[in-house]
């Protein structure tokens, strides 16, 4: 897949991963590995950007005597994801036509 095209999808993939439950960086990587190959060096800048854009927020929780940073989608992030899903539905029609 084209690198620029993939880059545009990654933020939306992270938002989709957080849509139903909060998660932490490594688990998000594991969850997304079913769909796309993504490294930690790529994931954490994406998470940082999403936090800066207020699409995701963070909080810390203790786990096995260590502090783990969790990410949760904000209302703004959920709205962005929903708008993108509508755009993807339209794009899917185009892809389906091309691939028929």
pTM value?
0.84
Dist. CA 27–CA 21, nearest whole Å: 11
Domains annotated on the chain, with CATH: 3-99 (1.10.10.10)
Closest CA to 26 of 13, 40, 6: 40
**3 state DSSP class of 35:** coil
Written as tens digits, the pLDDT of the chain (100 aa) is 666 666 678 999 999 999 999 999 999 999 999 988 888 999 999 999 999 999 999 999 998 999 999 999 999 999 999 999 888 889 899 989 999 8
CA 55 to centroid of chain Cα atoms: 10
Query: 15 is written with which tokens?
Result: 């938002």
SS3 content of the chain, % helix, strand, coil (to 5): 60, 20, 20
């Amino acid at each position: 897949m084209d690198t620029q095209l993939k880059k545009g999808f990654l933020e939306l993939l992270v938002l989709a991963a957080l849509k139903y439950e909060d998660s932490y960086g490594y688990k998000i990587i594991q969850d997304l590995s079913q769909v796309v190959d993504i490294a930690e060096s790529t994931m954490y800048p994406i998470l940082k950007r999403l936090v800066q854009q207020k699409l995701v927020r963070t909080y810390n929780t203790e786990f096995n005597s260590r502090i783990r940073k969790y990410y949760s989608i904000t209302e703004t992030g959920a709205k962005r994801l929903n708008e993108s899903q509508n755009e993807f539905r339209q794009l899917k029609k185009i892809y389906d036509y091309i691939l028929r």
